[in-house]
Chains A and B, each alone.
Chain A
């Protein structure tokens, strides 16, 4: 097991860095430093995660009994809708891009900041405004349409607060677009001399592909939500079947974004895993070109599969077959990545530091989630499993077992860089294991429940499903504990953690060659890059 190398005394001395260079709330709220904005985002999304997670806990409490009358049916509908909206739009979509990538991409490419620092700040303001509007929606009673806002329920029949919800998501969408725009221009135009595309860390490739998705897909979400809003305000009838409108048109426009959105929600995680696996196998990533191009392939293909969410809506059978085939194809680049990570570990010197534990969890759980996605892409299987807990389990495996684990792994990997502090090894490894156990106990039974026919978004269920539901709820409480523990030791580490040196993990990458925490402008001089990424030599050669 690799030990954490502490910094030399000169580094431990209190130097000026981006955290202590200025004090006061104005220096934070009006900052244009990408690192400070990343921290602002980190705090914001953590708060939203707690809100969304609370709703999940409330749902699982309700599902302990078949009658499900701890909360009313109406309340339950609002709980799962708000849980979905908050987790998708206010946690998962911004998670790694707005926090880790925001912090690291300029440093990884050798730049002083993103291309448009003020746009970066605007992006955070929009996120906060969107969050406030959504929280307003929560406080006045919430929305009950599901995070998918299907018409005509959302546009005509729902008695809940649809308008604030779509408004909040609309604003958050623009936050996402601006982040993506910033990353695209930054990666194209701000790379240091010698930093060719072929030398970029795979984390940059993944976030670049994500940025393409954000820019190309989110505007269509914006227009679909605008149409719902107008329908609701003026009853114009665009999705009203009574007067000739087509609710399926909404679904086409909605899923044109929302399918790529799920790749927005996983690609950055894959980028993190590439970095972690390389570092803790002490080996360069196997098949760098394949992994880089697979990110781009996923980005392109993800726009061609959205109809697999609509197989049972009356969508044309011919188009459904095409979507099904393309959904199989889009799984290939993801699988390529999994094979490459595994091959990276082969004959590497693998250690079990906390980031690597999360990476192991990711690889296993994402594989399960991805494979069950293939089941759902199969038309014949989708017909009985659509709208059941099978789907719920599938996407939680990829989103939580995949993305959230990757986010936690990345947070643990780069925490020393971002804060200059080390956290408790024991507690972090323990909570990674707790999360893994809690996660599987929560969501594996849901595959079985869905296969047996339990529908999703139901507050009650037949008594024969109770045991599996109780297991799932028990798992949820363990999972919650697993998420609370890091909150505690991370905050503790800010004050009491030992100081990290520049490179506690002895990883490669430009970010590990500068101070922890970095200075405001990252580099004293523009670096000149001459080596490939992941230039890991034998274990004895420490870097940084």
Chain B
């Protein structure tokens, strides 16, 4: 925040606090419902919303400079780079490639799609 940035009202902070508490309850409750793979997605989505509220309001990013916002985004982007690329190694390690002989006379040859 700069010296001239607005000072939020108490109401604003309390409203965010209440939202965070409600979302905490919601995410806890949903965790008991069987949604398969979607459980992770929903839980992380709610966590992202909560974190965004803290960053935007409590940490003042709402009123801060573009540069600060760029730094916040950069941190998240770099975290994603690390996690996504590392993960893609593990996910694609067992993909196999079956090389097929080249053949003119035979019909459709074997496919060479990655299989796990």
8 contacts across the A-B interface (CB closer than 8 A): A216-B75, A220-B82, A248-B89, A304-B81, A316-B91, A316-B92, A317-B92, A318-B95
A contact residues vs B (CB 8 Å cutoff)? 188, 216, 220, 248-249, 252-253, 256, 303-304, 307, 314-319
Instruction: State whether A319 touches B89 (Cβ < 8 A).
Output: yes
Instruction: State whether B85 touches A307 (Cβ < 8 A).
Output: yes
Interface of B is mostly: helix
Shortest B110–chain A CB gap in Å is 19
Instruction: State whether A256 touches B67 (Cβ < 8 A).
Output: no
For B75, list chain A residues within 8 Å (CB): 216
Shortest A50–chain B CB gap in Å is 36
Shortest B73–chain A CB gap in Å is 13
Partner of A303, one of B78, B91, B92: B78
CA A351 to CA B92, docked complex, whole Å: 55
B4 lies within 8 A of chain A by Cβ = no
CA A248 to CA B74, docked complex, whole Å: 26
Query: Do A252 and B86 form a contact, CB below 8 Å, given A316-B93, A316-B95, A319-B92?
Result: yes
Partner of B93, one of A188, A253, A304, A315: A315
For A314, list chain B residues within 8 Å (CB): 93
Instruction: State whether B81 touches A252 (Cβ < 8 A).
Output: no
Considering the complex, give the chain B residue whose CB is closest to the CB of A323. Answer: B85
Instruction: State whether A256 touches B82 (Cβ < 8 A).
Output: yes
Shortest B74–chain A CB gap in Å is 8
For B74, list chain A residues within 8 Å (CB): 216
Partner of A304, one of B67, B85, B89: B85
Instruction: State whether B89 touches A303 (Cβ < 8 A).
Output: no
CA A429 to CA B91, docked complex, whole Å: 55
Shortest A220–chain B CB gap in Å is 7
Shortest B48–chain A CB gap in Å is 21
Instruction: State whether B67 touches A188 (Cβ < 8 A).
Output: yes
Interface contacts beyond A188-B67, A318-B88, A318-B92: sample of 12 additional A-B pairs, CB < 8 Å, sorted by A: A216-B74, A216-B75, A220-B82, A252-B86, A253-B86, A256-B82, A256-B86, A303-B81, A304-B85, A316-B93, A318-B114, A319-B88
CA A22 to CA B90, docked complex, whole Å: 58
CA A319 to CA B97, docked complex, whole Å: 14
For B90, list chain A residues within 8 Å (CB): 316
The digit string for B65-102, where 1 denotes a CB below 8 A from any CB of A, is 00100000011001001100110111111010100000
Shortest B63–chain A CB gap in Å is 18
For B86, list chain A residues within 8 Å (CB): 249, 252-253, 256
Of A188, A220, A252, A319, chain B has the most CB atoms within 10 Å of the CB of A319
Shortest B90–chain A CB gap in Å is 8
